[in-house]
Structure 1
């Protein structure tokens, strides 16, 4: 099938999503939302009609602790009970020693962290026969103790575990702008055939830097970077993320059309095969 284009599910938009199901190729659902009993009938309907990408927030690959047993049990049950194309989480830390950080925090990238992260990925891969993807996040300051560039770290994770990648183009643009590097040079360091999903989103300019917010339309510069990226990758899906400050849903539909237009220009609305399998 062609590269799928869709959005992340937000309950505030349930009626709009239900009314426009035909305009979506895929739906991204927060994994942890399904840990508790689903009392959202609209989400159930949408998940029965559309392919689903499960996207986690709290795996905390960067924690030095073992993954909590309760979280692992919930994740394993959700993956077993939910039809999904793949599941993903972030290259980040969200808790340490039982203390919740409250957001996606960049993790230290060292050989020790690589070994620990590889072990965690292999553990969660055993919960599903579908691919597991790791997403790049934004960082606003250097992380002490890091000795491996992020792109190299992601490449080594792929080599060691067979995992795939979720490339967040907005995060890449923000990091490149804030830390003054060439985003395409970063991209060249990744195993491009492992990029299965792409995220597009908007951000804000504040505190003298660019910040990832998912609260605005996709920036023009992010569309331009996405256009460049599409010359080199063949993703199975593109998701436009919006978490707050919702405008007219017609604007979201227009963004989906922009994404489809860019994909078509690069021949990515033709049949594609999902090639990354869980190790």
Structure 2
């Protein structure tokens, strides 16, 4: 595996700072935020300097019951080629559920949700990973995720699940030590035990990030400094194996560059501390595991699909909590999902909070409670505006007129402001064709 070194998550908000930071060997960019034909100037300059860029996907849903979408796989492959990347990464998670497989509405989580550690889920995940590997031009690595909730009836620990996944597919692993800490606080899982069970030779690189604790729940925010327990887990990992790369993730509340550089220094020191105590690790005994026949996997897909659809519906549509889940913890997760929806919609449609003012967030949270997302965040923004306009939530006045104008401008296949020009162009084309 290529040695990557020390890196940081590239985000437009800190692009200039990242370019000036000393000791940055590589960066990671969210795949869905990169357009292959229009790469940001900052990423092009970094690449010209020899800095490796790795695309990190967030929407493939490899842990979902359906087979990976061919269009999403093609987009991920296109970004890997445009960036000249040595590998691509995604998550062991599901992000949508329902649809034809379960004869129920297709629901979007807008978030990475945990896969049950069961044989059914493992069989489905292994087949999905193989499909993705066949479609991608470079190796794939998959990341363990953080979770607020646990599935009932799990049959494996996280380490065992990841070991079998890597053993059966040859996929690389992206180990997020911050997520191991999150699962320690939220689900009582021992990070050291997970590390001891992992196939260390399969690690492609490591994520490090910050979060915060509230009411006994750890939130993996990527918006706070890296805490000492996360650095300690990194040291533990580095005492077992030399990680090919370690990367700092920060998505919001970006501090001054000096603070980010300080966190990178702390990460390097944690790795060096682990290397100083590293002992020769015993090679795990391999398992002879056969690929699951497709017919059996199809049945597993349906069982998994029904379970995931029931969970996601409870989280985003207010349906009853499936048996065996912690109702209180599911409530925390549901509120977190609604809050994230409100935040992301405000980013993709910043005019909405500008138009609605302080009424935006409470209004959106009330809307989200009974209106699950079904078509991505931009569609969500339009649906929210339509809901306010159609259901009598806004009295006649300037706010309603401004919101209506905004919705009309964006709700059609062509922006309203461009429609006269489009009509003129079509008319001119008709004239030319009939000459």
SS in 2 for 1:126: helix
5+ residue gaps, structure 2, are: 100-105, 277-435
The one of 195, 208, 227 aligned to 1:219 = 227
Write the distance in 2 (CA, Å) between the matches of 1:58 and 1:83. Answer: 21
* Match in the other structure for 2:12: 11
Aligned to 1:233: 241
Distance 2:37 2:95 in 1: 23
Any conservation in 2 of the 1:27–1:47 contact (CA below 8 Å)? no
Q: TM-score, normalised on structure 1?
A: 0.88
**Equivalents in 2 of 1:154, 1:248: separation in Å?**
36
- Give the secondary-structure state (helix, strand or coil) at the position aligned to 2:239: coil
CA contact (8 A) 2:81 2:137 kept: no
Native 8 Å contact 1:196 1:234 kept in 2:
no
Deviation at 1:259? 1.8
Question: Are the aligned partners of 2:238 and 2:275 in contact in 1 as well (CA < 8 Å)?
Answer: no
The equivalent residue for 2:45 is 45
Note the C-alpha offset of 1:235: 1.3
Q: Partner of 2:93 in structure 1?
A: 92
Question: SS of the residue aligned with 2:38?
Answer: coil
**1:10 CA displacement:** 0.7
Give 1:39 shift: 5.1
Instruction: Report the RMSD for the aligned CA atoms in angstroms.
Output: 2.0
Task: Please tell me whether residue 182 in structure 1 is matched to residue 173 in structure 2.
Answer: no
Q: Hey, what does 1:55 align to over in structure 2?
A: 56
Structural mapping, 1:48-197, within 5 Å: 48-49=48-49, 50-96=51-97, 97=99, 98-144=106-152, 146-197=154-205
- Corresponding residue for 1:28? 28
Counterparts of 2:226 and 2:67 in 1: how far apart (Å)? 36
Deviation at 1:229, TM superposition (A): 1.7
CA positional deviation for 1:138: 1.0
Measure the CA separation in 1 of the matches of 2:139 and 2:242: 16
List runs of 5+ in structure 1 lacking aligned partners: 269-279
Contact 2:77 2:137 (C-alpha < 8 Å) held by counterparts: no
Say which is worse superposed, 114-123 or 66-75, in terms of deviation. 66-75
Q: CA deviation at 1:8?
A: 0.4
Instruction: Find the aligned partners of 1:75 and 1:197 in 2 and give their Cα distance.
Output: 19
Higher relative contact order (CA 8 A, sep 6+): 1
User: TM-score with structure 2 length normalisation?
Assistant: 0.58
Shift of 1:127: 3.2
CA distance in 2, matches of 1:52, 1:113: 31
Task: Tell me how far apart the structure 2 counterparts of residues 93 and 143 of structure 1 sit (CA, whole Å).
Answer: 13
Which structure has more strand as a fraction of its residues?
1
Which deviates the most, 122-131 or 89-98? 122-131
Q: Which one is further off, 108-117 or 185-194?
A: 108-117
Going from structure 1 to structure 2, the CA distance change for 1:12 and 1:223 (only over 3 Å counts) comes to: same
- Residue 23 of structure 1: how far off its partner (Å): 2.5
- Alpha-carbon deviation of 1:36? 5.8
CA–CA distance in structure 2, aligned partners of residues 48 and 33 of structure 1 = 20
Question: Partner of 1:253 in structure 2?
Answer: 261
Contact 2:182 2:220 in 1 (8 A): yes
Name the count of aligned residue pairs.
267
Give the Cα separation in 2 of the matches to 1:173 and 1:120: 27
Equivalents in 2 of 1:76, 1:5: separation in Å? Answer: 24
Shift of 1:34: 2.6
Q: Distance in 2 between matches of 1:145 and 1:179?
A: 14
Structure of larger gyration radius: 2
Deviations 1:80-125 (A, max 9, x none): 3331122111111111234321111112232222121111111221
CA distance in 1, matches of 2:212, 2:31: 26
Work out the CA distance in 2 between the residues paired with 1:107 and 1:187.
Answer: 19
Contact 1:90–1:137 (Cα < 8 Å) also in 2: yes
More helix by share: 2
